[in-house]
């Protein structure tokens, strides 16, 4: 779960935060990559995940106290971030008819991270190559974001994750969504 939270936060750092609809979102959606280039700050983040297998688990995550910024450069197409935040997490575990709820907060300290990016022909922000010495997956996992809004002041990004993996010989289905918003500095 800690790696999942850390991976989720890395996704957040890369371009995220969630926002309610506002007048800022009514501007034209820019399809050019130049719209992304610049310095942004994360202002909101929320996520929901569920896992089912031998056990069932549902998780909600809300970010707060965002610090730092995310910078996207054009040539080469790289990003770097020194962002940090606190995440309020609620997990509900169910096994054999019983359930347990746990609520806690995790603080992710500001730390320099970097990688690459591109926007594909479908308008998806993709190709994040995360440089994370603590994450044991090789090669680094690519994360894909659906770009809901990119205008001169705001980026709204969403992710949809669907994976099946084996945990102690039992298949586990993992499903999750994130919604994030960055605001231009």
Place 159 in a pLDDT band, splitting at 50, 70 and 90. Answer: confident
What was the pLDDT predicted at 127? 53
Out of 49-58, 96-105, 138-147, pick the least confident. Answer: 138-147
100 pLDDT tier (thresholds 50, 70, 90): very high
Q: What is the pLDDT of residues 112-129, one digit of tens each?
A: 777 777 777 766 666 554
User: Can you give the pLDDT at residue 50?
Assistant: 94
Residue recorded with tokens 């990004």:
157
Task: Return all residues near 184 (Cβ < 8 A) that are at least 6 apart.
Answer: 38, 39, 40, 152, 153, 154
- The residue-averaged pLDDT of 15-42 equals 56
d(CA 109, CA 86): 8
């Amino acid at each position: 779960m800690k790696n999942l939270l850390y991976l989720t936060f890395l996704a957040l750092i890369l371009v995220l935060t969630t926002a309610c609809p506002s007048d800022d979102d009514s501007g034209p959606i820019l399809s050019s990559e130049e719209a992304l280039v610049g310095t942004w700050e994360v202002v909101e983040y929320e996520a929901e995940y569920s896992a089912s297998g031998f056990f069932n688990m549902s998780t909600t995550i809300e970010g707060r106290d965002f610090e730092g910024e995310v910078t996207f450069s054009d040539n080469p197409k790289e990003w770097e971030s020194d962002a940090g935040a606190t995440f309020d997490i609620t997990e509900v575990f169910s096994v054999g008819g019983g359930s347990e709820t746990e609520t806690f907060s995790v603080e992710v300290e500001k730390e320099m991270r970097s990688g690459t990016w591109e926007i594909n022909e479908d308008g998806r922000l993709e190709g994040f190559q995360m440089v994370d010495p603590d994450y044991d997956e090789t090669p680094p996992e690519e994360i894909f974001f659906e770009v809901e809004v990119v205008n001169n002041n705001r980026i709204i990004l969403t992710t949809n994750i669907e994976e099946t993996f084996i945990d102690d010989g039992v298949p586990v289905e993992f499903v999750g969504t994130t919604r994030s918003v960055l605001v231009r500095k």
